[in-house]
Amino acid sequence: MAAPLVVVNFKTYTTALGHAAESLAAHMAATETSARMVAVASAFDLGAVASVDGLEVWSQHLDPVGQGSHTGWLEPQTAIERGAVGTIINHAEHKVSIDHVRDLMAMLPEGFPICACAANVDEARALAALGPTFIAVEPPELIGGDISVTTADPSIVTDTVAVVKEVNPDVRILCGAGVKNGADVAKAIELGAEGVLLASGVTKANDPAAVLADLVRLL
């Protein structure tokens, strides 16, 4: 099995933007672990976060547009030039159509990881047919909460794994929403996920280095 992923979405939290984003990225890079640590940075911070050695950096969103007359859109090639080596798409806070995901995948270079977010098993099934690198299942009602999806609704993780692997066995599954500690991460792996996608558990922590160390302690 490949190394499990710990994917931290910086969102637009004050504690994960600008200089704070660079500091958080440094904490992630310094975390001693065999896990694959991924920082999902704001487009404004891609270059700065990508300059931190030893850390994989993804974009929070990309649009299927080329370079030219596309004011306000996030054009993939520029993100790549600024250090993005992957992206999430269709997050619960930035939903897009299935066509958007399909068209974006067609534009991205071979081997560029794309993590498509799904709110439920049915959405995960539809996304799996496109063949993204990862699907992250995150029930929207649990995002930012204090109860992990692995505790509140473990069946959505196991059911997503089963459905996605049936549609496309090459797609890897992440789970998120409420993930806060090492026990949550270990439970996600036990349920069949290959990593976690989280945000506030790290970005809003008083001691992010300690939280990061705890997240990976059971891996």
pLDDT in tens, 44-84: 999 999 999 999 999 999 999 999 999 999 999 999 999 99
pLDDT in tens, 72-81: 999 999 999 9
Active site residue 70: no
- Tokens 């806060």 correspond to 180
Q: One of 27, 61, 91, 194 is an active-site residue; which one? A: 91
Q: Is the pLDDT of residue 146 over 80?
A: no
Mean pLDDT, rounded, for 207-213 = 96
Res 140: pLDDT:
79
Res 197: pLDDT:
96
Considering the chain, what percentage of its residues have pLDDT values greater than 70?
100
Phi, psi of 142 (to 5 degrees): -100, -10
Banded model confidence at residue 191, pLDDT cuts 50, 70, 90: very high
Active site residue 19: no
Res 1: pLDDT:
63
Chain mean pLDDT for the chain = 95
- Tokens 């487009």 correspond to 43
Report how many helices (DSSP H) and strands (DSSP E) the chain contains, helices first: 10, 8
Please provide the DSSP assignment of 112-165 as one string. --EEEEESSHHHHHHHHTT--SEEEE--GGGTTSSS-HHHH-HHHHHHHHHHHH
Q: One of 56, 75, 123, 138 is an active-site residue; which one? A: 138
- Among 86, 142, 98, 104, smallest CA distance to 124 is for 98
* CATH code for position 159: 3.20.20.70
- Among 149, 148, 102, smallest CA distance to 121 is for 149
Are residues 116 and 135 in contact, defined by beta-carbon separation less than 8 angstroms?
yes
Burial class (CB in 10 A: 0-12, 13-18, 19+), 106: exposed
Residues 6+ away with beta carbon under 8 Å from 11: 42, 60, 93, 199, 203
pLDDT in tens, 156-175: 999 999 999 999 999 999 99
Kindly state the tokens that stand for 195.
Answer: 């990593």
- CA–CA dist 91, 87 (Å, integer): 11
- Tokens 């992250």 correspond to 136
pLDDT in tens, 24-33: 999 999 999 9
Partners of 135 in the β-ladder: 116, 173
pTM of the model: 0.95
Q: Is the pLDDT of residue 85 over 70?
A: yes
Greater confidence, 4 or 139?
Answer: 4
- Among 209, 199, 175, 219, smallest CA distance to 33 is for 219
Query: What count of other Cβ atoms lies within 10 Å of the Cβ of residue 170?
Result: 10
Mean pLDDT, rounded, for 79-100 = 97
Q: Write out the residue range of the structural domain in which residue 124 sits.
A: 5-215
Res 177: pLDDT:
83
Res 188: pLDDT:
94
Number of domains in the chain: 1
